Structure 1
Amino acid sequence: MLDAPARRLIDPTLNRMGAAIARFGVSANTVTMLGLGLGLLAALLIVIGWPQLSLLPLLASRLADGLDGAIARATQKTDFGGYLDIAADFLFYGAIPLAFVLNDPAANGAAGAFLLASFYFNGTSFLGYAILAEKRGMKTSAQGVKSLYYSNGILEGTETIGFFILLCLFSGSFPLMAWVFGTLCFLGGALRIYAASRIFRD
Protein backbone atom coordinates (compact mmCIF):
# COMPACT_ATOMS: atom_id res chain seq x y z
CA MET A 1 0.00 0.00 0.00
CA LEU A 2 2.90 2.36 0.70
CA ASP A 3 5.00 1.79 -2.42
CA ALA A 4 3.32 4.41 -4.60
CA PRO A 5 3.63 7.33 -2.11
CA ALA A 6 7.13 6.17 -1.17
CA ARG A 7 8.19 6.18 -4.84
CA ARG A 8 6.91 9.70 -5.31
CA LEU A 9 9.03 10.76 -2.35
CA ILE A 10 12.29 9.01 -3.17
CA ASP A 11 12.32 8.72 -6.98
CA PRO A 12 13.59 12.26 -7.70
CA THR A 13 16.64 11.71 -5.46
CA LEU A 14 17.22 8.19 -6.78
CA ASN A 15 17.02 9.41 -10.36
CA ARG A 16 19.65 12.07 -9.73
CA MET A 17 21.93 9.57 -8.01
CA GLY A 18 21.37 6.99 -10.74
CA ALA A 19 22.21 9.47 -13.49
CA ALA A 20 25.42 10.44 -11.67
CA ILE A 21 26.47 6.79 -11.24
CA ALA A 22 25.66 6.03 -14.88
CA ARG A 23 28.13 8.71 -15.98
CA PHE A 24 30.91 6.59 -14.45
CA GLY A 25 29.92 3.68 -16.69
CA VAL A 26 28.43 1.52 -13.94
CA SER A 27 25.64 -0.63 -15.36
CA ALA A 28 22.23 -1.22 -13.79
CA ASN A 29 22.84 -4.99 -13.76
CA THR A 30 26.09 -4.52 -11.84
CA VAL A 31 24.22 -2.55 -9.16
CA THR A 32 21.49 -5.20 -9.08
CA MET A 33 24.06 -7.89 -8.32
CA LEU A 34 25.80 -5.66 -5.78
CA GLY A 35 22.45 -5.17 -4.03
CA LEU A 36 21.82 -8.91 -4.01
CA GLY A 37 25.28 -9.55 -2.56
CA LEU A 38 24.66 -7.04 0.22
CA GLY A 39 21.28 -8.62 0.94
CA LEU A 40 22.83 -12.07 1.20
CA LEU A 41 25.53 -10.67 3.47
CA ALA A 42 22.76 -9.34 5.72
CA ALA A 43 21.21 -12.82 5.77
CA LEU A 44 24.58 -14.36 6.70
CA LEU A 45 24.96 -11.94 9.61
CA ILE A 46 21.52 -12.96 10.86
CA VAL A 47 22.44 -16.65 10.64
CA ILE A 48 25.53 -16.15 12.81
CA GLY A 49 23.56 -14.14 15.38
CA TRP A 50 24.17 -10.49 14.49
CA PRO A 51 20.72 -9.32 13.33
CA GLN A 52 21.18 -5.69 14.36
CA LEU A 53 24.50 -5.43 12.52
CA SER A 54 22.79 -6.92 9.46
CA LEU A 55 20.72 -3.74 9.13
CA LEU A 56 23.67 -1.95 7.50
CA PRO A 57 24.05 -4.25 4.46
CA LEU A 58 20.29 -4.86 4.39
CA LEU A 59 19.48 -1.16 3.96
CA ALA A 60 22.39 -0.70 1.56
CA SER A 61 21.04 -3.53 -0.56
CA ARG A 62 17.64 -1.85 -0.79
CA LEU A 63 19.31 1.42 -1.80
CA ALA A 64 21.06 -0.49 -4.59
CA ASP A 65 17.72 -2.01 -5.55
CA GLY A 66 16.33 1.49 -6.05
CA LEU A 67 19.42 2.75 -7.85
CA ASP A 68 19.56 0.00 -10.48
CA GLY A 69 16.25 1.14 -11.93
CA ALA A 70 17.35 4.77 -11.82
CA ILE A 71 20.55 3.88 -13.70
CA ALA A 72 18.54 1.95 -16.28
CA ARG A 73 16.24 4.93 -16.81
CA ALA A 74 19.28 7.17 -17.28
CA THR A 75 20.86 4.80 -19.82
CA GLN A 76 18.88 2.01 -21.41
CA LYS A 77 16.25 -0.29 -19.94
CA THR A 78 16.41 -3.92 -21.01
CA ASP A 79 14.05 -6.84 -20.57
CA PHE A 80 16.84 -8.90 -19.03
CA GLY A 81 17.63 -6.12 -16.56
CA GLY A 82 14.03 -6.09 -15.36
CA TYR A 83 14.05 -9.88 -15.13
CA LEU A 84 17.32 -9.94 -13.20
CA ASP A 85 16.02 -7.29 -10.81
CA ILE A 86 12.85 -9.16 -9.87
CA ALA A 87 14.73 -12.47 -9.53
CA ALA A 88 17.28 -10.84 -7.21
CA ASP A 89 14.48 -9.25 -5.19
CA PHE A 90 12.72 -12.56 -4.65
CA LEU A 91 15.94 -14.27 -3.60
CA PHE A 92 16.62 -11.49 -1.09
CA TYR A 93 13.08 -11.60 0.28
CA GLY A 94 13.39 -15.35 0.84
CA ALA A 95 16.90 -15.24 2.27
CA ILE A 96 16.08 -13.02 5.26
CA PRO A 97 13.34 -15.25 6.78
CA LEU A 98 15.45 -18.33 6.00
CA ALA A 99 18.34 -16.74 7.90
CA PHE A 100 16.21 -16.42 11.04
CA VAL A 101 15.17 -20.07 10.71
CA LEU A 102 18.78 -21.22 10.33
CA ASN A 103 19.81 -19.10 13.31
CA ASP A 104 17.30 -20.82 15.61
CA PRO A 105 15.39 -23.68 13.93
CA ALA A 106 13.63 -24.77 17.11
CA ALA A 107 12.14 -21.37 17.90
CA ASN A 108 11.69 -19.98 14.38
CA GLY A 109 11.21 -23.03 12.15
CA ALA A 110 7.42 -23.29 11.97
CA ALA A 111 6.79 -19.53 11.79
CA GLY A 112 9.57 -19.13 9.21
CA ALA A 113 8.16 -21.91 7.02
CA PHE A 114 4.72 -20.29 7.19
CA LEU A 115 6.20 -16.90 6.26
CA LEU A 116 8.15 -18.33 3.32
CA ALA A 117 5.03 -20.14 2.07
CA SER A 118 3.10 -16.87 2.22
CA PHE A 119 5.87 -15.11 0.25
CA TYR A 120 5.76 -17.89 -2.33
CA PHE A 121 1.99 -17.59 -2.73
CA ASN A 122 1.97 -13.80 -2.74
CA GLY A 123 4.85 -13.65 -5.23
CA THR A 124 3.14 -16.12 -7.54
CA SER A 125 -0.08 -14.13 -7.51
CA PHE A 126 1.93 -10.98 -8.27
CA LEU A 127 3.89 -12.46 -11.19
CA GLY A 128 0.85 -14.24 -12.62
CA TYR A 129 -1.09 -10.98 -12.55
CA ALA A 130 1.80 -9.23 -14.31
CA ILE A 131 1.79 -11.83 -17.10
CA LEU A 132 -1.94 -11.42 -17.72
CA ALA A 133 -1.66 -7.63 -17.58
CA GLU A 134 1.15 -7.70 -20.16
CA LYS A 135 -0.89 -10.00 -22.39
CA ARG A 136 -3.71 -7.45 -22.37
CA GLY A 137 -1.46 -4.43 -22.83
CA MET A 138 -2.21 -2.97 -19.41
CA LYS A 139 0.15 -0.26 -18.16
CA THR A 140 0.72 1.49 -14.86
CA SER A 141 3.35 3.88 -13.51
CA ALA A 142 1.87 4.26 -10.02
CA GLN A 143 5.03 2.75 -8.54
CA GLY A 144 7.45 4.24 -11.04
CA VAL A 145 8.45 3.03 -14.49
CA LYS A 146 8.88 -0.76 -14.26
CA SER A 147 9.74 -3.58 -16.65
CA LEU A 148 6.58 -5.45 -15.69
CA TYR A 149 3.12 -4.61 -14.42
CA TYR A 150 3.14 -3.94 -10.66
CA SER A 151 -0.25 -4.70 -9.13
CA ASN A 152 -0.79 -3.10 -5.74
CA GLY A 153 -1.42 -5.08 -2.58
CA ILE A 154 -1.81 -4.94 1.19
CA LEU A 155 1.91 -5.54 1.70
CA GLU A 156 4.43 -4.33 -0.86
CA GLY A 157 8.16 -3.69 -0.89
CA THR A 158 8.03 -0.77 1.53
CA GLU A 159 6.09 -2.72 4.15
CA THR A 160 8.33 -5.75 3.72
CA ILE A 161 11.51 -3.75 4.27
CA GLY A 162 9.94 -2.18 7.35
CA PHE A 163 9.05 -5.67 8.56
CA PHE A 164 12.62 -6.89 8.03
CA ILE A 165 13.95 -3.93 9.99
CA LEU A 166 11.65 -4.81 12.89
CA LEU A 167 12.77 -8.45 12.72
CA CYS A 168 16.40 -7.38 12.98
CA LEU A 169 15.73 -5.01 15.87
CA PHE A 170 13.47 -7.40 17.80
CA SER A 171 14.68 -10.81 16.66
CA GLY A 172 13.26 -12.52 19.75
CA SER A 173 9.77 -11.73 18.49
CA PHE A 174 10.35 -13.36 15.10
CA PRO A 175 7.71 -16.11 15.52
CA LEU A 176 4.88 -13.74 16.41
CA MET A 177 5.78 -11.19 13.74
CA ALA A 178 6.22 -13.92 11.11
CA TRP A 179 2.79 -15.44 11.80
CA VAL A 180 1.11 -12.03 11.59
CA PHE A 181 2.95 -10.83 8.48
CA GLY A 182 2.54 -14.19 6.76
CA THR A 183 -1.21 -14.13 7.38
CA LEU A 184 -1.41 -10.67 5.80
CA CYS A 185 0.63 -11.91 2.82
CA PHE A 186 -1.80 -14.78 2.28
CA LEU A 187 -4.68 -12.32 2.49
CA GLY A 188 -3.00 -9.99 0.00
CA GLY A 189 -2.42 -12.80 -2.48
CA ALA A 190 -6.03 -13.97 -2.15
CA LEU A 191 -7.32 -10.43 -2.76
CA ARG A 192 -5.09 -10.13 -5.86
CA ILE A 193 -6.54 -13.37 -7.23
CA TYR A 194 -10.04 -12.06 -6.56
CA ALA A 195 -9.18 -8.84 -8.42
CA ALA A 196 -7.78 -10.88 -11.31
CA SER A 197 -11.01 -12.92 -11.49
CA ARG A 198 -12.91 -9.68 -12.06
CA ILE A 199 -10.48 -7.93 -14.41
CA PHE A 200 -9.31 -10.85 -16.55
CA ARG A 201 -12.58 -12.73 -16.84
CA ASP A 202 -13.30 -13.42 -20.52
Structure 2
Amino acid sequence: MFDARLRVALAPTFDVAARLIDFPVVTPNRLTALNLAAGLASAALAASQLWLLALLMWLLCRLADGLDGPLARRRAESRSEDTGQGGFWDICADFIVYGATVIGVAIGASVGYEAPWLPFMLVLFGYYINGASFLAFSSIAERKGKQLSDGRSLSFLGGLAEGAETILVHSLWLIFPAAAPHIAVGWAVLVGISAAHRIAAGFHALR
Protein backbone atom coordinates (compact mmCIF):
# COMPACT_ATOMS: atom_id res chain seq x y z
CA MET A 1 0.00 0.00 0.00
CA PHE A 2 2.86 2.38 0.83
CA ASP A 3 5.57 0.82 -1.33
CA ALA A 4 5.36 3.22 -4.29
CA ARG A 5 5.66 6.31 -2.10
CA LEU A 6 8.36 4.76 0.08
CA ARG A 7 10.42 3.76 -2.94
CA VAL A 8 10.37 7.35 -4.18
CA ALA A 9 11.18 8.75 -0.73
CA LEU A 10 13.97 6.27 0.03
CA ALA A 11 15.47 6.05 -3.47
CA PRO A 12 18.08 8.80 -2.89
CA THR A 13 19.23 7.16 0.36
CA PHE A 14 19.52 3.72 -1.21
CA ASP A 15 21.29 5.17 -4.24
CA VAL A 16 23.89 6.77 -1.96
CA ALA A 17 24.26 3.49 -0.04
CA ALA A 18 24.69 1.61 -3.31
CA ARG A 19 27.45 4.01 -4.33
CA LEU A 20 29.22 3.54 -0.99
CA ILE A 21 29.24 -0.26 -1.26
CA ASP A 22 30.05 -0.33 -4.98
CA PHE A 23 33.19 -2.46 -4.82
CA PRO A 24 33.99 -5.40 -7.10
CA VAL A 25 33.58 -7.90 -4.26
CA VAL A 26 30.05 -6.64 -3.56
CA THR A 27 27.62 -7.69 -6.27
CA PRO A 28 23.82 -7.54 -6.49
CA ASN A 29 23.65 -11.34 -6.57
CA ARG A 30 25.77 -11.58 -3.43
CA LEU A 31 23.50 -9.10 -1.69
CA THR A 32 20.56 -11.28 -2.67
CA ALA A 33 22.42 -14.28 -1.24
CA LEU A 34 22.91 -12.30 1.99
CA ASN A 35 19.18 -11.56 1.97
CA LEU A 36 18.46 -15.28 1.68
CA ALA A 37 21.01 -16.35 4.31
CA ALA A 38 19.90 -13.73 6.83
CA GLY A 39 16.24 -14.54 6.23
CA LEU A 40 16.79 -18.26 6.82
CA ALA A 41 18.84 -17.44 9.91
CA SER A 42 15.97 -15.27 11.18
CA ALA A 43 13.55 -18.16 10.67
CA ALA A 44 15.82 -20.60 12.54
CA LEU A 45 16.38 -18.15 15.39
CA ALA A 46 12.65 -17.50 15.70
CA ALA A 47 11.98 -21.24 15.80
CA SER A 48 14.55 -21.41 18.64
CA GLN A 49 12.76 -18.51 20.40
CA LEU A 50 15.78 -16.21 20.08
CA TRP A 51 13.50 -13.37 19.16
CA LEU A 52 15.85 -10.38 19.30
CA LEU A 53 18.49 -12.09 17.19
CA ALA A 54 15.76 -13.18 14.79
CA LEU A 55 14.62 -9.56 14.49
CA LEU A 56 18.16 -8.36 13.77
CA MET A 57 18.60 -11.00 11.07
CA TRP A 58 15.21 -10.12 9.58
CA LEU A 59 16.13 -6.43 9.34
CA LEU A 60 19.55 -7.30 7.84
CA CYS A 61 17.81 -9.49 5.30
CA ARG A 62 15.43 -6.69 4.30
CA LEU A 63 18.31 -4.19 4.11
CA ALA A 64 20.20 -6.47 1.72
CA ASP A 65 17.03 -6.87 -0.32
CA GLY A 66 16.67 -3.10 -0.49
CA LEU A 67 20.23 -2.60 -1.73
CA ASP A 68 20.58 -5.25 -4.40
CA GLY A 69 18.23 -3.45 -6.81
CA PRO A 70 19.88 0.00 -6.61
CA LEU A 71 23.33 -1.56 -6.95
CA ALA A 72 22.16 -3.59 -9.96
CA ARG A 73 20.75 -0.47 -11.61
CA ARG A 74 23.99 1.39 -10.89
CA ARG A 75 26.02 -1.39 -12.49
CA ALA A 76 23.58 -1.63 -15.42
CA GLU A 77 24.51 1.91 -16.49
CA SER A 78 27.77 0.52 -17.83
CA ARG A 79 26.23 -2.61 -19.40
CA SER A 80 24.30 -2.88 -22.62
CA GLU A 81 21.92 -5.67 -21.63
CA ASP A 82 20.00 -6.87 -18.58
CA THR A 83 19.75 -10.66 -18.70
CA GLY A 84 17.07 -10.79 -15.99
CA GLN A 85 19.12 -13.23 -13.92
CA GLY A 86 19.32 -10.91 -10.93
CA GLY A 87 15.59 -10.25 -10.89
CA PHE A 88 14.87 -13.99 -11.03
CA TRP A 89 17.31 -14.72 -8.19
CA ASP A 90 15.86 -11.88 -6.13
CA ILE A 91 12.23 -12.99 -6.36
CA CYS A 92 13.17 -16.61 -5.59
CA ALA A 93 15.08 -15.50 -2.49
CA ASP A 94 12.18 -13.32 -1.33
CA PHE A 95 9.64 -16.13 -1.63
CA ILE A 96 11.89 -18.53 0.28
CA VAL A 97 12.49 -15.96 3.01
CA TYR A 98 8.83 -15.00 3.41
CA GLY A 99 7.72 -18.60 3.73
CA ALA A 100 10.57 -19.63 6.01
CA THR A 101 10.13 -16.73 8.41
CA VAL A 102 6.41 -17.41 8.82
CA ILE A 103 7.17 -21.06 9.61
CA GLY A 104 9.96 -20.08 11.99
CA VAL A 105 7.71 -17.75 13.97
CA ALA A 106 4.93 -20.36 14.00
CA ILE A 107 7.29 -22.97 15.47
CA GLY A 108 8.72 -20.60 18.06
CA ALA A 109 5.34 -19.25 19.13
CA SER A 110 3.75 -22.70 19.29
CA VAL A 111 6.57 -24.06 21.47
CA GLY A 112 7.01 -21.03 23.67
CA TYR A 113 3.42 -19.80 23.93
CA GLU A 114 1.32 -22.75 22.73
CA ALA A 115 0.15 -20.62 19.84
CA PRO A 116 -2.09 -22.28 17.24
CA TRP A 117 -0.71 -22.91 13.76
CA LEU A 118 -3.87 -21.98 11.86
CA PRO A 119 -3.24 -18.18 11.67
CA PHE A 120 0.21 -18.77 10.21
CA MET A 121 -1.15 -21.32 7.74
CA LEU A 122 -3.66 -18.71 6.58
CA VAL A 123 -0.84 -16.21 6.08
CA LEU A 124 1.06 -18.74 3.97
CA PHE A 125 -2.10 -19.44 1.96
CA GLY A 126 -2.49 -15.71 1.34
CA TYR A 127 1.15 -15.43 0.28
CA TYR A 128 0.62 -18.34 -2.12
CA ILE A 129 -2.35 -16.64 -3.81
CA ASN A 130 -0.60 -13.26 -4.00
CA GLY A 131 2.53 -14.79 -5.46
CA ALA A 132 0.64 -16.82 -8.03
CA SER A 133 -1.47 -13.85 -9.13
CA PHE A 134 1.33 -11.35 -9.62
CA LEU A 135 3.71 -13.85 -11.23
CA ALA A 136 1.01 -14.98 -13.65
CA PHE A 137 0.14 -11.37 -14.43
CA SER A 138 3.78 -10.41 -14.95
CA SER A 139 4.34 -13.28 -17.36
CA ILE A 140 1.21 -12.67 -19.42
CA ALA A 141 1.62 -8.88 -19.37
CA GLU A 142 5.17 -9.27 -20.72
CA ARG A 143 3.89 -11.42 -23.58
CA LYS A 144 1.03 -9.05 -24.36
CA GLY A 145 3.06 -5.85 -24.04
CA LYS A 146 1.07 -4.59 -21.03
CA GLN A 147 3.86 -4.44 -18.45
CA LEU A 148 3.60 -2.21 -15.39
CA SER A 149 7.07 -0.70 -15.19
CA ASP A 150 8.34 0.77 -11.92
CA GLY A 151 12.02 -0.05 -12.28
CA ARG A 152 11.73 -3.62 -11.00
CA SER A 153 12.24 -6.79 -13.01
CA LEU A 154 8.60 -7.90 -12.82
CA SER A 155 5.24 -6.18 -13.21
CA PHE A 156 3.96 -5.80 -9.65
CA LEU A 157 0.28 -5.29 -8.97
CA GLY A 158 -0.25 -3.02 -5.97
CA GLY A 159 -2.30 -4.00 -2.95
CA LEU A 160 -2.91 -3.51 0.76
CA ALA A 161 -0.15 -5.96 1.69
CA GLU A 162 3.15 -5.06 0.05
CA GLY A 163 6.80 -5.04 1.04
CA ALA A 164 6.68 -2.28 3.65
CA GLU A 165 3.71 -3.82 5.45
CA THR A 166 5.39 -7.23 5.36
CA ILE A 167 8.53 -5.86 6.97
CA LEU A 168 6.45 -4.21 9.69
CA VAL A 169 4.27 -7.22 10.47
CA HIS A 170 7.16 -9.71 10.52
CA SER A 171 9.03 -7.34 12.82
CA LEU A 172 6.05 -6.99 15.14
CA TRP A 173 5.62 -10.69 15.75
CA LEU A 174 9.34 -10.98 16.51
CA ILE A 175 9.07 -8.09 18.99
CA PHE A 176 5.82 -9.40 20.51
CA PRO A 177 5.98 -13.19 19.98
CA ALA A 178 3.22 -13.90 22.51
CA ALA A 179 0.87 -11.86 20.34
CA ALA A 180 2.15 -13.37 17.07
CA PRO A 181 -0.96 -15.50 16.36
CA HIS A 182 -3.27 -12.51 16.87
CA ILE A 183 -1.08 -10.39 14.60
CA ALA A 184 -1.10 -13.23 12.07
CA VAL A 185 -4.91 -13.33 12.01
CA GLY A 186 -5.14 -9.65 11.11
CA TRP A 187 -2.30 -9.98 8.63
CA ALA A 188 -3.94 -12.98 6.96
CA VAL A 189 -7.10 -10.91 6.43
CA LEU A 190 -5.13 -8.05 4.85
CA VAL A 191 -3.11 -10.43 2.68
CA GLY A 192 -6.35 -12.10 1.58
CA ILE A 193 -7.93 -8.77 0.64
CA SER A 194 -4.75 -7.84 -1.20
CA ALA A 195 -4.85 -11.13 -3.12
CA ALA A 196 -8.45 -10.54 -4.19
CA HIS A 197 -7.58 -7.00 -5.28
CA ARG A 198 -4.57 -8.20 -7.30
CA ILE A 199 -6.66 -10.84 -9.07
CA ALA A 200 -9.30 -8.27 -9.99
CA ALA A 201 -6.75 -5.63 -11.00
CA GLY A 202 -4.78 -8.08 -13.12
CA PHE A 203 -7.94 -9.37 -14.78
CA HIS A 204 -9.01 -5.86 -15.79
CA ALA A 205 -5.48 -4.77 -16.80
CA LEU A 206 -5.28 -7.61 -19.31
CA ARG A 207 -8.53 -6.73 -21.12
- Structure 2-normalised TM-score? 0.90
TM-aligned CA deviation for residue 19 of structure 1: 2.6
Q: CA deviation at 1:73?
A: 0.6
Aligned to 1:47: 47
Identity %: 36
Are the aligned partners of 1:35 and 1:61 in contact in 2 as well (CA < 8 Å)? yes
Q: Which moved more, 1:189-198 or 1:32-41?
A: 189-198
Amino acid at match of 2:159: G
Q: 2:20 is matched with which residue?
A: 20
Matching of residues 99-178 of structure 1 within 5 Å:
99-103=104-108, 104=110, 106-142=114-150, 145-178=151-184
The amino acid that maps onto 1:159 is E
In structure 1, the residue matched to 2:79 is none
Secondary structure of residue in 2 paired with 1:92: helix
- Measured in 1, the distance between the counterparts of 2:31 and 2:174 equals 24
**Distance apart, 1:39 and its partner CA:** 1.0
Query: Partners of 2:20 and 2:73 in 1: how far apart?
Result: 12
Where in structure 2 are the equivalents of 1:27-106 lying within 5 Å? 27-76=27-76, 77-103=82-108, 104=110, 106=114
Q: C-alpha displacement at 1:35, in angstroms?
A: 1.2
Q: How much is the aligned-residue C-alpha RMSD, in angstroms?
A: 1.6
Structure 1 residues 8-54: Cα deviation after superposition (integer angstroms, max 9, x where no partner): 11111111221332234421101100111011111111010112221
Could you tell me which runs of 5 or more consecutive residues in structure 2 were left unpaired when the two chains were aligned.
77-81
SS for the counterpart of 1:41 is helix
Comparing 172-181 and 131-140, the one that deviates more: 131-140
Q: How far apart, CA to CA, are the structure 1 residues paired with 2:122 and 2:144?
A: 33
Q: Find the residue that maps to 2:51 and give its secondary structure.
A: coil
With normalisation by structure 1, the TM-score equals 0.92
